[in-house]
Amino acid sequence: MIYQNPIVRGFYPDPSVCYANSKYYLVCSSMQYFPAVPLFESEDLLNWTQIGHCLTRTEQIALKNVNSSGGVFAPTIRFHDGRFYMTTTNSTTNQNFIVWTDNIYGEWSDPIFIDQNGIDPSLYFENEKSYFMSNGSDAEGISGIVQCEIDIATGEKRSPSKTVWQGSGGRYLEGPHLYKIKDYYYLLAAEGGTEYGHMVTYARSTSPYGPFEAYPNNPVLTNRNLGGFQIQGVGHGDLIEAPDGSYWLVHLGFRQTGQWTTFHHLGREVFLSPVEFHDNGWFTAGIDGTTPEYVNVPYAKEVQRFQNEYTFLNTDFEKEWCYLRHPLIENYTLCKNQITLNGSSNSLDDVASPTFIGLRQKEFCCRINCDIEIDHGEAGITLYMDENHHYDLALLKVPEGYQIIERICIGNIKSIEAQYSLGNSSRATLVIESNSQEYRFFVNSENQNILLGTGLTRYLSSEVAGGFTGVIIGLYAFDQDSTNTAKFTNFKCEYLHE
């Protein structure tokens, strides 16, 4: 059966996957958003359902005043001896830690910190030993993939941290994972930086301590030389065995906005590429070492499912929705047919936690509409990349009544591009339409959509904004006096085909 990449769409970077109890589980980075580390479940590696997050309590992860693209980096999920473990980095505090759970649908433990530097931590279990690795440098100052043995219950190191591999020569060696498959230990990694030069590389050894011999034809998977190809930035993967015994790489990549427009704003997404082991013990990946949009999955029994419509009624506020950093939860009243937000003095431009709740944008082409009512202050829909790059369509109380504004924030350029008077009406229907190249902003008046203006998608892209996130479709409220109330109803985000 033919499947389409990406298999998890929108800002879900740095995927890691494990198998337990006849199902697959996947986690991704979440950066400055909370709850942290989205958690998915699948029966076939292809159709994924979000079942929660690993970090749901403020005491598990420090996110106060974390800059955009700081916070939670590159988690790894593993299952060992009946227990799930997730390890990740808080890149802002420079701490690696582990949490665990015996119930994948329940709460995870408080963090267990590991005294090893670097980012992108991973775990490997064998013969009552627990191995911990990250990228970084060892006690002798040698940089690369660093490994030690730990007490998995306490995080205490049982061996010194030692660099076991320095990669194949690409910059930014990261994302290590260790596996034992037949006669070899395979050390998988990413190199080249998580942009257009990204790639998957690996090495092998007969011992978990090395020495590791690099695959002669590294990189084993990359799209770095595919000019004019939509899928770019392929790298940072995790190796997994499918239900039929075949092997696959679950990895990140991104979709640029057009064949020759090298911008991406949906974030890094989750892709699937086939792996083939050969008689000499080496493996190859992808189609001639690249990740295609369409991939043949011989074991697949179910058709690929994409959700094309998101509303308050068919989403779970504790799963698909997210906040910026740690929210002041009393400012949010979340019901199945209405969200009520109490505005704070923290704006979308602040490195703080404004009153904001959002969904990841999953496709280029979409139509977003929502009814909004305020008493005073400001409330609206934001297309949010970070505190310095967002487009806002908002309902605003002004001395002469109410008005709709279209605002752009691009770096240090902050401009109200259009205004539309509502007179004394404190309620409005806001509409945003998008394709791969632009957003269009409307207010619905007398059943007609009145165009206020447009904004190019490229100015919300990683190439312009920098960082490692993607656009979040956010609902927000703001009031300098922290006293306004905004009601959001009839929200719908519908994905279309370009």
* CATH code for the domain of 421: 2.60.120.200
Examine the domain organization and report whether 226 and 321 are in the same domain.
no
302 falls within a domain: no
- d(CA 278, CA 289) in angstroms, rounded, equals 14
Examine the domain organization and report whether 313 and 287 are in the same domain.
no
191 falls within a domain: yes
- Please report which helix (H) or strand (E) contains residue 34, including its range: strand 33-34
Examine the domain organization and report whether 270 and 336 are in the same domain.
no
Examine the domain organization and report whether 271 and 124 are in the same domain.
yes
Structure tokens at 220: 């084993």
Answer yes or no: are the C-beta atoms of 170 and 219 closer than 8 Å: yes
- Which of 296, 331, 356 is the endpoint of a domain? 296
Domains in the chain: how many in total?
A: 2
Beta bridge partners of 114: 96
Phi, psi for 215 (deg, rounded to 5) = -60, 125
Determine the pLDDT at residue 202: 98
Residue 479 is a catalytic residue:
no
Examine the domain organization and report whether 373 and 328 are in the same domain.
yes
- Please report which helix (H) or strand (E) contains residue 465, including its range: helix 462-465
Examine the domain organization and report whether 325 and 433 are in the same domain.
yes
14 falls within a domain: yes
Four-CA torsion 323, 87, 52, 13, nearest 10 degrees: 60
Answer yes or no: are the C-beta atoms of 381 and 432 closer than 8 Å: yes
- Which of 271, 296, 321 is the endpoint of a domain? 296
Four-CA torsion 438, 475, 413, 457, nearest 10 degrees: -20
303 falls within a domain: no
Identify the CA nearest to 254 among candidates 2, 1, 9, 436.
9
Structural domain of residue 417, as residue ranges?
A: 309-495
- d(CA 93, CA 245) in angstroms, rounded, equals 40
Percent of the chain that is helix, strand, coil (3-state, to 5): 5, 55, 45
Which residue of the set 174, 363, 386, 387 is catalytic?
Answer: 174
- d(CA 40, CA 141) in angstroms, rounded, equals 37
452 falls within a domain: yes
Examine the domain organization and report whether 378 and 433 are in the same domain.
yes
- d(CA 434, CA 244) in angstroms, rounded, equals 40
Examine the domain organization and report whether 178 and 32 are in the same domain.
yes
264 to 42, 111, 261, 290: CA distances (angstroms): 27, 34, 9, 19
* CATH code for the domain of 271: 2.115.10.20
Determine the pLDDT at residue 498: 56
Examine the domain organization and report whether 340 and 222 are in the same domain.
no
Examine the domain organization and report whether 421 and 389 are in the same domain.
yes
Examine the domain organization and report whether 291 and 429 are in the same domain.
no
Determine the pLDDT at residue 214: 98
370 falls within a domain: yes
Residue 174 is a catalytic residue:
yes
| pLDDT tens track for 42-82 | 999 999 999 999 999 999 999 999 999 999 999 999 999 99
Stretches in the chain below the pLDDT threshold 70: 497-498
Determine the pLDDT at residue 11: 98
301 falls within a domain: no
Distance between start and end Cα atoms, the chain = 24
Q: What amino acid occupies position 431?
A: V
Examine the domain organization and report whether 215 and 292 are in the same domain.
yes
Q: What amino acid occupies position 320?
A: E
